[in-house]
Structure 1
C-alpha cells in the first residue's frame, strides 16, 4: 500500500526515505486534497488483466502504453537518466504509472512548496496531475518495472522549474487554490 509523508531537507542520498523528525505521514485522501495526486491499488496477480485497471484506462482514455525498467542493468545511461528523473519538472499531460515490480518514490510539491514523498510498490497506480512540480527516484533497491499510460501518442517532455508561466501550471495552481474536489470514484 502506498505511503506518503513530508520530507526532511537533507541532502543525503535521494534513494533514502527522508522522513522528518518526527515523521509526518499523509493519508491518501488528504494527499489528493492537497496535491491532486490520485492513487489506485491494482490487486490482481496479473495487474495488466485487472478489471479496475481496464476500467480506469477506458474511462480516462488511456489508449497508449509502454513499459520501462529502471535499473543499472536495463537502463542505458542509468546515472544520467536518474539525475534527469530527479530534476524538478512538470508535464503538460498527466503522468500515469503502474508499478509491476520493485519500488521507488515520486516527490510532489504542496501549496506551501514543501516536498511530499510518495512511495510506490507493486500494484500501485499513481496519477500525477499535469502542471504539478514533481520528480522521481528509485529507492535503495535500485529497481522498478512500471507501465506508463498516455492519452494519444506519448508526449514525454519535462519542463524544468521554473515553468510558472506555462498554461498547465497556471491551471494547476488555480485548482490547488480552489481545491481538487474528490478523487475519482472508479469502481469495478
Structure 2
C-alpha cells in the first residue's frame, strides 16, 4: 500500500524518507483533498490482461505512452537529471506515472504549500494535476522504471518555481476554492 506523509524542512539528503517527527502519515482521501493527486493500485502481473489500465486510459483520454528507466547505468547524465527531477516545478498537463519496477518518491505541495512525500513502488499509478508544484527523487535503491501517459502529444516541459502566473497554476489554485477536484 502506498504511503504518504508530511515532510519536515530538512531536505539535505533527498533520498531519505524525511518526515516530521513524529511522522504524520495521511490517508489517500486526505492526499486528494489536500493536493488533487489521484492514486490507483494496479497489479503489474495482470496489467496486460485485466483491462484496468486500458479502461483508465480510455476514460482519461491517454493516447500516448512511453517508459522511462532512471538508474545510474541506464540514464544519460544521471546525476544532472536527478537534480532536474528534484527541482520544484510544475507542468501544464497532468503527470501520470505507473511504477513498473523499483521505487522512489514524488513530493507534492499541498493547498497550504506544505510538502507531502508519496512513496511509490511497483503497481502504484499517480496522477498529478496540471499546475501542482512537485518534484521526484529516487530512494536508496537508486532505480525506477515507470510508464508515462499523456493526452495527445507528450509534453515534458517543466516550469521551475516560481511560476504562479501561469494559467495552469491559477486554475490549480482556484480548484481548491471552487471544489472542482473530482475523482474519475
Q: TM-score, normalised by structure 2?
A: 0.96
Decide whether aligned partners of structure 1 residues 49 and 81 sit closer, same or farther in structure 2, where only a CA change above 3 A counts.
farther
Asked if structure 2 preserves the Cα contact closer than 8 Å seen for 1:41 and 1:125, the reply is: yes
- 1:124 maps to 124
- How do 1:69-84 and structure 2 match up within 5 A? 69-84=69-84
Structure 1 residue 30 displacement after superposition: 0.8
Decide whether aligned partners of structure 1 residues 70 and 59 sit closer, same or farther in structure 2, where only a CA change above 3 A counts.
same
In 2, distance between residues paired with 1:44 and 1:52?
11
- How do 1:57-68 and structure 2 match up within 5 A? 57-68=57-68
In 1, distance between residues paired with 2:85 and 2:46?
27
- 2:183 maps to 183
Asked if structure 2 preserves the Cα contact closer than 8 Å seen for 1:34 and 1:179, the reply is: no
Structure 1 residue 110 displacement after superposition: 1.0
Q: TM-score, normalised by structure 1?
A: 0.94
**Deviation >6 Å, runs of 4+:** none
- 1:93 maps to 93
Q: Classify the secondary structure of the residue corresponding to 1:45.
A: helix
- How do 1:31-50 and structure 2 match up within 5 A? 31-50=31-50
Structure 1 residue 166 displacement after superposition: 0.4
Does residue 5 (structure 1) correspond to residue 5 (structure 2)? The answer is yes
